[in-house]
Structure 1
Amino acid sequence: MKKQWWHDKVAYQIYPKSFMDSNGDGIGDLRGIISKLDYLKELGIDILWLSPIYRSPLVDQGYDISDYYAIGEQFGTMEEFDELIAETKKRNMYVLMDLVVNHCSSEHEWFKKAMTDPEGEYGDYFYIRESKDGQPINNARSYFGGNIWEPIPGTNKYYLHMFAKEQPDLNWENPKVRQEIYKMVNWWLDKGLAGFRIDAIINIKKNLDFPMLEPDGLDGLAFCTKTLGTKDGVSEMLGELKRETFDKHGAFTVGEVFNITDDDLSDFIGENGYFSTIFDFSTELLSTGEHGWYDAPDVAFPAWKKAIFHAQDQAYGCGFESNIIENHDEPRGASRYLPVYARNSCGTKMLGTMSLLLRGLPFIFQGQEIGMTNTNWQSVDEFDDLNTVDQYHLALKAGLSEKYALDKIGRLSRDNARTPMQWNTSSNAGFTTGIPWLRLNDNYPDVNVAAQEKDTDSVLNYYKKLIALRKSDTYKDIFTYGKTIPVFPEKEMLMAYCREKDDKRILVLGNFGEKKEALHLSAEPKKLLLSNMNHTEIGQDIILAPQESAVVLL
């Protein structure tokens, strides 16, 4: 495998609206991010991914872009963005932007012109179809609920939106649209971006026949992914995007890609893949409900472990996937993937250990490094996320009580990840001097950066050790390129794997069970590299306490 500059790096996702507010308006901003760069550098971060900071009405928190060439006023100015790029370069850090090009905002000038003249040039920038019977073109359900077809007032036409109606899908079949997108991508890369995280990109290819679908819900609709086009069609589009933009700049790209088969993986992340890497979402899919969040199952640890090892096996020899515990679209991993009895600081450290030492690029989401958890939501009115509110009403329509519906959506809401970053014990957790745009987690007086910086046994200081171990000159090569080999498969509640390369082997252990685990190693331990319980020695016979993790050089 050809070595790339990003292979041995550690990435960190910033949700700008909730990271750090510098001017007291309750919304995080670029100046706030700049003020925390030294914190991130000390943590061991190399790559920063910023969720959208473009101009936007924020219907879907910036994933509805009204001007691709402008910074949203809430976040700051283009001059401050340029300063951010300059300051990260001083620290040998890299910046990724979110690339959202499946759709734009209904406030974008292209869409406004299309609505004025649906049959004109800009009408073909979107999917606009004429209704023959006054009904939507087909019965596909959007990601956020309701039909994907929205009527255009004063006409018998509809436009398509896979997400909210304020997020019309761009017509990638139109070469003018593609060229506009490529011009914009190159403009940002010319400004000094290292690359992009690419949002919902598989959605760009539709089945242009838009057939009626077999309903999969009580609403008579079917999930919109069933309207997507062929693999070959999207492959052509992704290949052209790469040639016209990323390749010209040597850009790093990470794709948000769901539901590709193992056989397709090399097309996406192989030597000549469309992207540098894609996220491994195999564990996230374990809590997908048949009808919605209200019937989503809890994640069972054995299934979680199996999904990770399968993904590791498929990616080896093919390319690099990116590993996550959580992101802006998911609840907090410490509240989702840990059994209830393991939801403590040791369990959180163990979860981080098992994820960060896998093969692939680790992405840490803001607050993960201090063990931020889900919030105890008291009312549906506290949520800002439109997807969460839609799922709440879906649960009520299915006959659930308000209390049960709130409990179910509270566990899976995207807003769990979007509550403000917990910096200290002062008012509003040090995030803002104003009124925060979204409620804080009540536990911020106990879970915050300032307190953990002073505590040598904190989750934060453990993450620093963990990242330093992964990036150390001695072990960087094996953690970056070594194969992941599961061991002790008979131990159902134990996660155990070796990272192996050449003549080196490192064993990574985590006890997710309620009882002690007794293990006999086949090889003599050479050195205990890291322990979440501050042990300093290890023998060939090991007894792991519940929530204990250990990293052992064999």
Structure 2
Amino acid sequence: MKQWWKEAVVYQIYPRSFNDSNGDGIGDIQGITEKMSYLAELGIDVIWLSPVYDSPNDDNGYDIRDYRAIMDEFGTMDDFDAMLEEAHRHGIKIMMDLVVNHSSDEHQWFMESRSSKDSPYRDYYIWKKGKDGQPPTNWGAFFGGSAWQYDEASDEYYLHLFSKKQPDLNWESETLRREVYDLMTYWLDKGVDGFRMDVINMISKDPSYPDGQTQGTGYGDGTPFFFNGPRIHEFMQEMNREVLSKYDTITVGEMPGVSVEEAKLYTGEDRNELNMVFHFEHVDVGNGSFGKWNPTDWKLTELKTIFSRWQEGLEEEGWNSLYWSNHDQPRAISRFGNDSPEYRVRSGKMLATLLHLLKGTPYIYQGEEFGMTNVAFDSIDQYRDIETLNAYRDYTSKGLLTHDEIFRGIHERGRDNSRTPVQWSDEAHGGFTTGTPWIEVNPNYVDINAEAAQKDPNSLFHYYRQLIALRKANPLVVYGKYELLLPEDEAIYAFTRSFEGEAWLVLCNFSGDTQQRDLPYDVKERVIGNMEPIEPFTLRPYEAQVYKL
């Protein structure tokens, strides 16, 4: 079925790092409003806005203190309303980040919950008695340590799957669920156009709370007991029925550990849950024994297998979301392409070609459109991400990884790679701020910035504009069938898209060498590519070509 959100291109803004309008070193809502014409020029349809709610910033806004207020550092509700109006004036929709697996421990609900076992808010959160002086389960938290925090006043523990300042909400409580639906309705009535839902497949926990299999860190793996838990589809259908069905929304659920079969349940059009999900399979390629902290080499065939499984699995049911990078992932070109000066732009265009020619809704992460890269800070003191800082402390203090080993992981895969400020120009701090930025700007802003890319007709920025325009002009890009070619090839990613009697061939060279292949196709005309082709089936390093067959 045709839907506007299938035809859209989404652009993620991480407000803290996007654009600072007042010189305090922190990006803000007025800074987003200032750049709306830039985003309109790019051609995007939807902004996914990472959290701007009131927060003590333990996890950069993903720990929410008040769901109906704006963080002081980002501005006021009037600023938000003005930004929303400006976005809509440019034909751009706003998708808010909905973070309701957990709140901040400074949220009024949690302070009331903690105040007494008899508080009416007690069951808004997950409280358990310990076992023999130990936490209720052996689960480890994603940001290190135990997933349980002891509360001396009540002699009980509360669950926090992330930071101890991010207590998990108890979705078993119908009253809590009503509160969540009310706050969603508040924002939709204000005029926002949908939600990206943070780790939403974790909201239903196994009520028996079993121990998990012990990991290298010494803690148990609790994920089998809260990924896609027993009541998750009941909760998602209730949310849809009570809120989402009453509005014309775009919804995407961030879902670690989700399978294709589970995604069909979340996104099937007759299921009345969500439009699409974010899975993590492709960004987990090359994980080592300690996940991303000791990365290993990966093969193109691994990537093709993952993409193809999702493309084919959701061909008739559900819908794909397509992304290389976001605020939790490293920069796309550094991760999957080649960020050397010689190949940065070419490989960036190749990656963009592949992603935007797959079936699904593409997501662009701020700065991706002009080729920002990872940053390699020298000292741990230059990093700001709680996950990175905790991992460095835990892995080095326990002797699991040396300083050099984990720094390699941080440089390749750490979250601050994507959180350095957007490089708008070659002015001081990349034109992001007139003050001191909250995290240092990547020093390569002198050469890599939006202003330079806008001025260069052959830049990555203008190539993204072409890809977005191609999507809008050709239903094949949105609705066409995907078929993988050369499945065992470790250098070339090749596939066809076909729709209503028309077929396109997509060829992407992931290698640093020229590749020649024999393919049984007659090429009619070239649709788009990142270089002038020499012959249809010969691809130079990181070359991408799309042909009509």
| TM-score over 0.5 for the pair | yes
TM range, normalised to the smaller chain?
over 0.9
Q: 2:525 aligns with which of 524, 527, 531?
A: 527
- Counterpart of 1:258 in 2: which secondary structure? coil
**2:283 and 2:267 mapped to 1: Cα distance?**
20
Alpha carbons of structure 1 residues 373 and 271: separation in structure 2 relative to 1, 3 Å:
same
CA distance in 2 between counterparts of 1:230 and 1:430 reads 43
SS in 2 for 1:235: helix
- Could you say if the C-alpha distance between residues 401 and 232 of structure 1 is closer, same or farther in structure 2, counting changes exceeding 3 Å? closer
Go from structure 1 to structure 2 and tell me whether the alpha carbon gap of 1:217 and 1:519 turns closer, same or farther (over 3 Å shift).
Answer: closer
Change in Cα spacing, 1:202 to 1:512, as seen in structure 2 (3 Å) is: same
Q: Which residue of 1 aligns with 2:171?
A: 172
The alignment partner of 1:533 has SS state of coil
Higher mean C-alpha deviation, range 506-515 or range 156-165 = 506-515
- Give the whole-Å Cα distance in 2 for the aligned partners of 1:232 and 1:133: 28
**In the alignment, which of 546, 550, 554 is matched to residue 545 of structure 2?**
550
CA contact (8 A) 1:282 1:311 kept: no
Trace 1:338-377 onto structure 2 (pairs within 5 A). Answer: 338=337, 343-377=343-377
CA contact (8 A) 1:324 1:364 kept: yes
CA shift for structure 1 position 214: 3.0
Q: Which moved more, 1:37-46 or 1:126-135?
A: 126-135
Q: CA deviation at 1:368?
A: 0.4
State the match for 1:109 in structure 2: 108
Q: TM-score, normalised by structure 1?
A: 0.95
1:143 partnered with 2:142:
yes
> How far apart, CA to CA, are the structure 2 residues paired with 1:109 and 1:16?
24
> How far is the alpha carbon of 1:266 from its aligned partner?
1.9
Pick closer, same or farther for the CA change 1:484–1:147 going to 2, 3 Å. Answer: same
CA contact (8 A) 2:263 2:277 kept: no
Match of 1:427 in 2: 428
Amino acid at match of 2:387: N
Alpha-carbon distance in structure 2 between the residues aligned to 1:437 and 1:272: 45
Cα 1:300/1:492, change in 2 over 3 Å: closer
Asked if 2 retains the 8 angstrom alpha-carbon contact of 1:315 and 1:321, the reply is: yes
Unaligned ranges ≥5, structure 2: none
For the residues of structure 2 that align with 1:90 and 1:340, how far apart are their CA atoms?
A: 36
Query: What is the CA–CA distance in structure 1 between the aligned matches of 2:311 and 2:325, rounded to whole Å?
Result: 18
Spell out, residue by residue over 1:396-425, the C-alpha distance to the aligned partner (whole angstroms, 9 max, x if none).
Answer: 123432222222222111010000000000
Deviations 1:277-324 (A, max 9, x none): 112422012233333433332332221122111211111111211100
Q: 2:513 aligns with which of 509, 515, 518?
A: 515
Mark the CA change 1:311 to 1:230 in structure 2 (over 3 Å): closer, same or farther. Answer: closer
- The equivalent residue for 1:470 is 471
SS at match of 1:471: helix
* 1:127/1:177 CA distance change after superposition, 3 Å: same
Alignment correspondent of 2:209? 210
Partner of 1:20: 19
Q: Please say which of residues 502-511 and 399-408 is displaced more in the overlay.
A: 399-408
Q: Shift of the alpha carbon at 1:519?
A: 3.1
The corresponding residue for 1:252 is: 250
Per-residue deviation, 1:253: 0.4
Q: Report the AA paired with residue 178 of structure 1.
A: R
**So what's the TM-score if we normalise by structure 2?**
0.96
Query: Contact 2:12–2:326 at 8 Å: present in 1 too?
Result: yes
Distance, in Å, in 2 between the alignment partners of 1:267 and 1:440 is: 42
Matched residues in 1 for 2:390 and 2:317: separation?
A: 39
Corresponding residue number in structure 1 for 2:308: 309
Overall identity of the aligned pairs, in %:
40
Residue 52 of structure 2 aligns with an amino acid whose one-letter code is I
Which shifted more, 118-127 or 431-440? 118-127
Q: Deviation at 1:151?
A: 0.9
Note closer, same or farther for the CA distance 1:405–1:263 as it changes in structure 2 (3 Å cut): closer
**Contact kept? 2:206, 2:230, Cα under 8 Å:** no
Cα distance change on mapping 1:376 and 1:123 into 2, 3 Å: same
Q: Which residue of 2 aligns with 1:482?
A: 480
> Which range moves more in the overlay, 207-216 or 28-37?
207-216
CA contact (8 A) 1:323 1:361 kept: yes
Find the partner of 1:495 among 480, 493, 496.
493
Counterpart residue number, 1:459 = 460
Give the aligned residue type for 2:458. Answer: D
Work out the CA distance in 2 between the residues paired with 1:143 and 1:218. Answer: 11
2:531 & 2:17 partners in 1: Cα distance? 32
- What is the one-letter code of the residue matched to 1:427? A
2:89 matched to 1:94? no
**Which residue in the other structure is 1:51 paired with?**
50
Could you tell me how far apart the structure 2 residues matched to 1:101 and 1:255 are?
12
C-alpha separation in 1, matches of 2:225 and 2:523: 54
Distance 1:280 1:551, change over 3 A: farther
Match of 1:198 in 2: 197
Partner of 2:151: 152
Amino acid at match of 1:546: P
Letter in 2 for 1:363: Y
Moved more, 509-518 or 102-111: 509-518
Distance (Å, rounded) in 2 between the aligned partners of 1:312 and 1:77: 41
Deviation at 1:162, TM superposition (A): 0.7
Give CA-to-partner distance per residue, 1:232-290, whole Å, 9 cap, x none.
Answer: 41111111111111111132101101222332222111113410111242201223333
Pairwise CA distance, 1:201: 0.8
DSSP-derived class of the 1:88 partner: helix
SS at match of 1:294: coil
Aligned length in residues: 546
Gaps of 5+ in 1: none
2:73: which partner in 1? Answer: 74
The answer to whether the Cα contact below 8 Å between 1:391 and 1:409 also exists between their aligned partners in 2 is no
Q: Which residue of 1 aligns with 2:233?
A: 235
1:40 aligns with 2:39: yes
The whole-number CA distance in structure 1 between the counterparts of 2:211 and 2:316 is: 41
Does residue 60 of the first structure (1) align with residue 59 of the second (2)?
A: yes
CA shift digits 1:364-417 (9 cap, x unpaired): 000000111100111111111110112212331234322222222221110100
1:295 and 1:428 map into 2 onto residues whose CA distance is: 31
Look up the equivalent residue of 1:394 and give its one-letter code: D
Match of 1:264 in 2: 262
Q: Are the counterparts in 1 of residues 201 and 228 from structure 2 also a CA contact under 8 Å? A: no
